[in-house]
A and B are shown apart, each in its own frame.
Chain A
Amino acid sequence: MIEAAVIGIVTGAIYGLIALGLVLVYKGTRVINFAQAEIGGAGLYLAYICTSHGLPWIAAAVITIAGAAILGIVFERLIVRPMGDAPRLTVAVATVGLFFALFSLEFYFFGQSPEFVAPPITGRGIEVAGFFIGPMVLLSFVVIAALAAALTAFLRYTDFGLGVLAAAQDATAVRLIGIPLGRLNMFTWGIAGALSAVAALLIEPQIGTVSPGAIGEPLFLGGLAAALLGGLTSLEGAFLGGILVGVAQSEAQHLLLATGFPGISAVVLFVIVLLVLLVRPQGLLGTLRARAEIGGAVT
């Protein structure tokens, strides 16, 4: 039981990181980035190329994160910006295209076979409740907490960050008071890409290998559930949501393992997504305004 919780917290932390990126993009543009996990997944191949050419992990990590950020910026420039104020769903479908493109590219260049990227820190790590939490996992926690705090501070306390928040509320007004909207959006998507890469780098050691779509699918949904649960407009909620989703999945799996029911984690995710959207669309920490935006029938 406790063991399951610990495992859950570990995966949950990664979900939280994906959720962070999702919430950032949502807050900045009101779009859900369906490629939020896959950008990182593609980035891992970049890391693989680097390490297989003898570069140390940290260099590979930096290059990967930078590459992912650039990918986000390019996507914003080429695809999102020309779409102007097209409906948000349409832009989201464009991100679906991005997901598919990345997935196909991975497949094209590397085929199905998994590759291996050596993690930077090895070792048994610390022991909690009879279960070993590896050093990469500990690193994950630290990184995620730091990132969430940094982002929140940046958005709230710097002018640029405030501009990002404002852009999601009223993009036209932002232009009319002289703030370069293009630069704000570039930041949003660039950081989203970088966050995705960080998440992928942190989780890869747990999976052990890199293969097409291995990160994209399951992580995205976990991240989405986490973002919804925490509140699509709440950066703090992303982390909280991630932990909750991870633990819920893990516990459910633990409890129902005996029944032999397949894909329990998928069931948990589906239930969370459905329940949040139908019952409390603003999630745990989102604002009531978010609730008004998301939920409700016509009458």
Chain B
Amino acid sequence: MSVLPLPDTAAPLLSAEGLVTGFGSHAVLHGVDIQVREGEIAGIFGLNGAGKSVTIKALAGLQPLWSGRVSLGGQDISTLSPEDRVGLGIGNIPQGRQVFPELTVEENLRLGAYRLRRRNRGRYRGLLEEVYERFPVLAQRRSQAAGTMSGGEQASLAIGRALMSEPRLLLVDEPSAGLAPKVIESVFQALHALNREGLTILLVEQNVTFGLKLVHTAHLLRMGRVVYSGEVGSLDRDRVVQELGIGRLLSSLQGDKK
């Protein structure tokens, strides 16, 4: 996958400043700053427990902030509910896809367009066809219960469902989780294609190898803080290893062979 160079005038579409939050009295994020420029695809990487999931949940509105700010296109959305953030143009693909297992593919997609259908039903039909075109497997299985589909198909459905709300920005939580490597490739290709068409994407990913090939900008998270933010080009394997804090034992099968 080749990554296109970023447009020059790229104002931050999403901006997170000084995010502090956690559970009970236990802080997990200690002041996270992330800027995502319009049109780019950015990734947050880090080991287990670094706070990746909490970060994206905070951006989506599921995790209340103790302090800090989240802005979308200049507008402060820090206190908005997840539903309202979707209304402003954020689309979510949760960890594990979380499709509605007992509903059909088409019903899942229809729900994704809940807000849209109230505004403009005609647009819904067109959007649905676009999603089916992008993911032919969904068109084939449109009346099938989502819970009976494979992991990869559910991933496509989750992406399609998020697209049905016509988002400006996609928040993707660990797209590779629980998927076989071949399937991960196709998911990443779908995300890449979406970005090339102009959709801004922020993803959180545990699989550094795959992830770094996909994104323009990488944010490395360690112990609840961002320790590096920058273009992927200037990153090499050793730097990643060092910044993430992996010890001398790392000679990862995933990293070295390829």
Do A and B pair up? The answer is: yes
Q: A-side interface residues toward B, CB under 8 Å?
A: 159, 162-163, 165-166, 169-170, 172-181, 287, 289
Please measure, in the bound complex, the distance between the C-alpha atom of A238 and the C-alpha atom of B8, giving whole angstroms.
Answer: 62
| Known A172-B62, A289-B147; contact A178-B115, beta-carbon cutoff 8 A | yes
- On chain B, the number of residues with a Cβ less than 8 Å from chain A's Cβ atoms is 29
Interface centre among A177, A179, A181, by most B CB within 10 Å?
Answer: A177
- Chain A proximity mask over B81-99: 1 for CB below 8 Å, otherwise 0: 1110011000010100011
Assuming the contacts A165-B103, A169-B103, A289-B101, asked whether A176 and B111 have C-beta atoms less than 8 A apart, the reply is: no
Given contacts A169-B103, A172-B62, contact A179 B111 (CB under 8 A): yes
**Partner of B117 from A159, A172, A174 at Cβ < 8 Å:** A159
Residue of A nearest to B88 (CB): A178
Closest 5 CB pairs of A and B: A178-B86, A176-B92, A173-B98, A175-B82, A166-B100
* Nearest CB in chain B: distance from A128 CB, A: 39
What is the distance, in angstroms, from A137's C-beta to the closest C-beta of chain B? 35
Complex CA distance for A289 and B107, rounded to whole angstroms: 18
Is B86 in contact with A170, judged by CB distance below 8 angstroms? no
**Number of A-B pairs, beta carbon distance below 8 Å:** 69
Q: Which of A162, A165, A174, A175 is the most central at the interface, judged by chain B CB atoms within 10 Å of its CB?
A: A175
Could you say which residues of chain B place their CB within 8 Å of the CB of A178?
Answer: 82-83, 86-87, 114-115, 165
- Chain A nearest CB, measured from B228 CB (Å): 28
B112 lies within 8 A of chain A by Cβ? yes
In the assembly, what is the distance between CA of A151 and CA of B164, in Å?
26
B82 surroundings in chain A (CB, below 8 A): 175-176, 178
Q: For residue A174, which residue of chain B has the nearest CB?
A: B111
Q: Given A176-B92, A177-B92, A180-B83, does the pair A165, B102 have CB atoms closer than 8 Å?
A: yes
The listed residue (A159, A172, A289) touching B114 by CB distance below 8 A is A159
Q: Are B147 and A177 in contact (CB under 8 A)?
A: no
Residue of A nearest to B98 (CB): A173
B161 within 8 A of A: yes
Distance of A290 from chain B, by nearest CB (Å): 9
- Which B residue's beta carbon lies closest to that of A175? B82
Point out the residues of chain A lying under 8 angstroms from B87, CB to CB. Answer: 178
Chain B residue numbers with a CB within 8 Å of A165 are 100, 102-103
Asked, given contacts A165-B102, A166-B100, A169-B103, whether A177 binds B111 with beta carbons under 8 Å apart, the answer is yes
Contacts of A162 in B (CB 8 A): 103, 107, 110-111
Q: In whole angstroms, what is the CA distance A163 to B81 when docked?
A: 17
